[in-house]
Amino acid sequence: MQKLEKMIAEAPRLAQEVERRQREELLTRASEGRNRLDVSIALHDKRYETGVEQPRGSLRKERREGRIVFLVLVVVFAAAVIWIATHLHF
């Protein structure tokens, strides 16, 4: 019974301490100067870590390759449309 009374007596002090710690943590996070939209920190998932982080290659190279593939597909599509139009005699 005394143990429970002691816990009840200490509860408000513990609640204030927890609230103070949360407030301090919030202030330190707010003063770090990070952008709210910086999702790279929030989305870091340790379940998929391999231990060795490989550097990300240049996106410019991927964009250029994407454009080339797109142009090739457009040319093939245009050639197919022309071939169908000449053989079906619309």
What's at 50, amino acid-wise? T
Within a domain: 44:
no
Query: How many whole angstroms separate alpha carbon 85 and alpha carbon 61?
Result: 36
DSSP state of 42: H
pTM of the model: 0.38
Is 37 within the bounds of a domain? no
Tokens coding 63: 């964009």
State mean pLDDT over 27-41: 68
For residue 24, the model assigns a pLDDT of: 92
**From the DSSP assignment, how many helices (H) and strands (E) are in the chain?**
3, 0
Q: Considering the domain boundaries, does residue 83 fall inside one?
A: yes
Question: Mind listing the pLDDT tens digit for each residue in 36-83?
Answer: 666 555 566 667 666 666 667 778 889 999 999 999 999 999 999 999
Residue 43 within a domain: no
* Structural domain includes residue 56: no
> Could you list the residue range(s) of the whole structural domain that residue 5 is in?
1-32
Any domain includes 7:
yes
Q: How many structural domains compose the chain?
A: 2
Does residue 45 lie within any of the structural domains? no
What is the arithmetic mean of pLDDT over 19-24? Answer: 93
Report the pLDDT value the prediction gives residue 69, as an integer from 0 to 100: 97
pLDDT at 44: 62
